[in-house]
Structure formats: structure tokens, C-alpha cells
């Protein structure tokens, strides 16, 4: 494939799963010889981590999605770099990028690709339905991380021909390199000998549904007292979740270790991973657990069923249902043959369908198809900043 010049936009000041996917994409494009740049907030984790990996970082203050000076600077940047594609990775980046590319003369205008990682309607937070205009005009292609999100966009009226699904990918090698079932790590979490460790790794926000996992804990302990639970991560609901565990009388059986950088090792220390989300674009934490060989219980939210196939690669439950979660947890813990079979199938599925290589190649295919459809050839090399 000819070398493509791509300018990525990310407006987030924090680091979450979407930012990790952007970094994986930058790594993959660079490894394949495609010149790439990332415009991001000054001093952000993205600026720090992308720079540390040798990527061209443009630190640009972007104050919301109607920042006219930022739009002008992005337009000037895209012109100077002669990029083929502007790839916006956040909602605010979507608006900034859409206006910026329209400020460039048509013959030199790059194509605009927008990533969509959430499974709620585009009208959920729309002022007088203005998101309809935002999403139906000025974008050449939406790349969704799951088929579930693709269906949401289509239901909201986005033309199907403007939507492509490219599943998020995970770094399988990073999971493989982590230590196997560390007893020292289990001891650090104060897991009693002989206990099953049931865990969750996610940002502590409402849509991640950890409160429903906590609802399941007393029900599980009533039948299987030799269990300890761990909820890894941080977020705005941490204190609320800790209070809930206290009210339910299970605080001594639930660990809240906060944000951790050793997630692959933590996953391998678990006997079961639970993802109780009631909204979920895809769920890369689920993919990490599957790659680690940990049996998974998930919900039917968003894109989770695209990786967790009921009774094949895990167990699925209805959303917002602590009782159903408890039953699935007990079933998986009580049936070692089912757990082993699901874990084995899940590892194979992740490697075949959800690797970073598959994500990068899928994204490159989108870029190439868009350029071909527009009758364009990649810009000549030699205009690097």
C-alpha cells in the first residue's frame, strides 16, 4: 500500500481505553511506514505517551468543540503537512476536524474519518437535534468499534455507506508476557487461601455497572462463601461503590485497589472476570481478560456479545440484573469444565479477531477505500514537519 499521511485528533485530557486504541493505531501505522501526527492537549497523557514512543506530537490547546482558533490552527496544520486523512477520535475532535477540513480548498482538502466508540444515540445530548446535522454532514466515514454501534448510527439516520466497523484491538503480547497467576499478587490483595477471586477492571462510571456486580456479591457469598471480589480502577463513583459494599455488608470481601498499571498480571490472578456494563461500545477489558485465559461473565450491553458468545466464549446476562449476574458467576465457578472450555475458546477468538494488527489493518483498509472512492492518490512524501 502507498504511504498515507494521517493527522489524528484527540481532545481528551485524561487516559482511557479510547486513548490506548489511538496509541496502538499510531504504533501500527508507523511500523508500516505511514507518516502520522497526533494533535492533542498540551501536557496530556496522550502527548506524553505518544512522544515517548517516538511519534510526531503537536500539542494544541482545544477548548471545547467550538474553539475557532483551534479550528484555524488545525486547518493550517493539515494544509502544511499535506495529509490525506484527518482522523478524529473524540466527539469534540469530530466538530473541530469537520470545520477545519472545510476551511481548506477543495483540491487539497483531506478526507475526514471519525471514530465512534460509544453505543448511545447521537441525539442523547443533542441541543435541539443539532447532532443530526453534525453527524450527517461533513464526515467521509465513521469507524465504529462494534457492529452494535454501527446499528445505533444507522437507526439515527447516518447513511450506512458512511459507516465501517473495525473492532478495537488489544496487545496480546502484553498479556502473554505478564506473570502467570501470581500468588504474591493475590496475597497483596488479601485473598484468603482457597478463595476464588472474582474481578472487574473498568473506569468507575455509571454505564460500567459495577453497582450490579456489588448487588450480586451477597447472593454469591450465600452459596459460595469462599469467594473474594476485586474491582480495579478509579472514577467518580468509587466512594459510592465503597459505600454500597458497606451497606450490603460485604465490604470485607470486596477489594478496591484503585488504578493499577499491572492489569495483565491482575487478570491472571483472577479465577473469573465479570463485566456488568449496561452500556458498552465493545469492552477492551473483556478482551484483555479473554486473552489472559480468564473465564468471563458479561452482559448483553452494546458490543460485548460480539466477543462474549453465550456458552462458547463466556456467559451473558441481561443488563442491570444483579440476580442474573450472581447466577452466572455461581454457574461458572461451579462448572470447571465449562469455565475451561469458554476460556480456551475466548483466547482463540481474541487472537483471531481482536488483535492490534487486525485493528490497524482494518483501519488502513478504510483509509484506502475512501481514497479510492474519492478518486485520490496518497499525497507525495516529503512534506514532513
Predicted confidence at residue 126, as pLDDT, reads 56
**Residues facing residue 258 across a β-bridge:** 232
Tens digit of each residue's pLDDT (9 = 90 or more) over 77-130: 999 999 999 999 999 999 999 999 999 998 889 999 999 999 999 987 655 456
d(CA 136, CA 158): 6
Q: Which residue has the cell 484555524?
A: 72
Taking CA atoms, 213 is separated from 167, 241, 281, 376, in Å, by 26, 10, 19, 51
d(CA 171, CA 272): 20
Q: Which are the contacts of 42, defined by CB distance < 8 A and separation ≥ 6?
A: 59, 60, 61
State the fold for domain 6-169+356-373: Rossmann fold (3.40.50)
Tens digit of each residue's pLDDT (9 = 90 or more) over 125-174: 655 456 767 888 889 999 999 999 999 999 999 999 999 999 999 999 99
**Per-residue pLDDT tens digits of the chain, which is 385 residues long:** 689 999 999 999 999 889 999 999 999 999 999 999 999 999 999 999 999 999 999 999 999 999 999 999 999 999 999 999 999 999 999 999 999 999 999 888 999 999 999 999 998 765 545 676 788 888 999 999 999 999 999 999 999 999 999 999 999 999 999 988 889 999 999 999 999 999 999 999 999 999 999 999 999 999 999 999 999 999 999 999 999 999 999 999 999 999 998 999 999 999 999 999 999 999 999 999 999 999 999 999 999 999 999 999 999 999 999 999 999 999 999 999 999 999 999 999 999 999 999 999 999 999 999 999 999 888 754 444 4
pTM summary value: 0.89
The domain defined by 172-353 carries CATH number 3.40.50.2000: yes
Q: Which long-range contacts (CB under 8 A, 24 or more apart) does 371-374 make?
A: 371/4, 371/84, 371/111, 374/111, 374/140
Predicted confidence at residue 257, as pLDDT, reads 97
Q: Give the CA dihedral 154, 157, 161, 165, nearest 10 degrees.
A: -30
Taking CA atoms, 89 is separated from 12, 39, 58, 76, 86, in Å, by 9, 11, 15, 19, 10
Residue intervals in the chain for CATH 3.40.50.2000:
6-169+356-373, 172-353
d(CA 251, CA 170): 32
Amino acid at each position: 500500500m502507498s504511504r498515507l499521511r494521517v493527522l489524528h485528533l484527540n481532545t481528551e485530557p485524561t487516559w482511557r481505553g479510547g486513548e490506548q486504541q489511538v496509541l496502538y493505531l499510531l504504533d501500527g501505522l508507523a511500523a508500516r511506514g505511514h507518516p502520522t501526527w497526533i494533535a492533542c492537549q498540551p501536557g496530556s497523557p496522550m502527548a506524553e505517551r505518544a512522544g515517548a514512543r517516538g511519534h510526531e506530537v503537536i500539542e494544541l490547546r482545544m477548548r471545547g468543540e467550538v474553539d475557532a482558533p483551534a479550528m484555524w490552527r488545525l486547518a493550517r496544520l493539515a494544509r502544511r503537512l499535506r495529509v490525506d486523512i484527518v482522523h478524529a477520535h473524540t466527539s469534540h475532535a469530530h466538530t473541530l476536524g469537520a470545520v477545519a477540513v472545510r476551511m481548506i480548498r477543495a483540491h487539497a482538502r483531506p478526507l475526514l474519518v471519525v471514530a465512534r466508540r460509544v453505543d448511545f444515540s447521537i441525539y442523547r445530548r443533542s441541543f435541539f437535534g443539532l447532532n443530526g446535522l453534525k453527524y450527517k454532514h461533513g464526515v467521509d466515514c465513521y469507524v465504529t468499534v462494534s457492529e452494535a454501534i454501527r446499528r445505533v448510527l444507522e437507526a439515527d439516520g447516518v447513511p450506512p455507506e458512511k459507516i465501517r466497523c473495525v473492532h478495537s484491538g488489544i496487545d496480546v503480547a502484553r498479556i502473554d508476557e505478564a506473570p502467570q497467576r501470581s500468588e504474591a499478587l493475590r496475597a497483596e490483595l488479601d485473598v484468603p487461601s482457597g478463595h476464588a477471586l472474582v474481578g472487574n477492571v473498568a473506569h468507575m462510571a455509571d454505564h460500567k455497572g459495577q453497582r450490579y456486580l456489588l448487588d450480586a456479591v451477597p447472593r454469591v457469598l450465600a452459596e459460595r462463601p469462599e469467594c473474594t471480589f476485586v474491582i480495579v480502577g478509579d472514577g467518580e463513583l468509587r466512594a459510592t461503590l465503597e459505600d454500597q459494599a458497606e451497606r450490603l455488608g460485604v465490604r470485607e470481601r470486596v477489594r478496591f485497589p484503585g488504578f493499577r498499571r499491572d492489569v495483565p498480571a491482575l487478570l491472571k490472578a483472577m479465577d473469573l472476570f465479570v463485566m456488568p456494563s449496561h452500556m458498552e461500545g465493545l469492552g477492551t477489558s473483556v478482551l484483555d481478560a479473554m486473552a489472559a485465559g480468564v473465564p468471563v461473565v458479561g452482559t448483553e450491553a452494546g458490543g460485548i456479545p460480539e466477543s462474549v458468545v453465550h456458552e462458547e466464549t463466556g456467559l451473558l446476562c441481561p443488563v442491570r440484573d444483579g440476580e442474573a449476574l450472581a447466577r452466572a458467576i455461581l454457574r461458572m465457578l461451579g462448572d470447571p469444565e465449562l469455565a475451561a472450555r469458554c476460556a480456551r475458546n475466548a483466547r482463540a477468538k481474541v487472537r483471531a479477531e481482536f488483535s492490534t494488527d487486525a485493528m490497524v489493518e482494518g483501519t488502513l483498509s478504510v483509509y484506502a477505500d475512501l481514497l479510492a472512492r474519492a478518486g485520490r492518490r496518497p499525497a507525495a512524501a516529503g512534506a514532513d514537519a
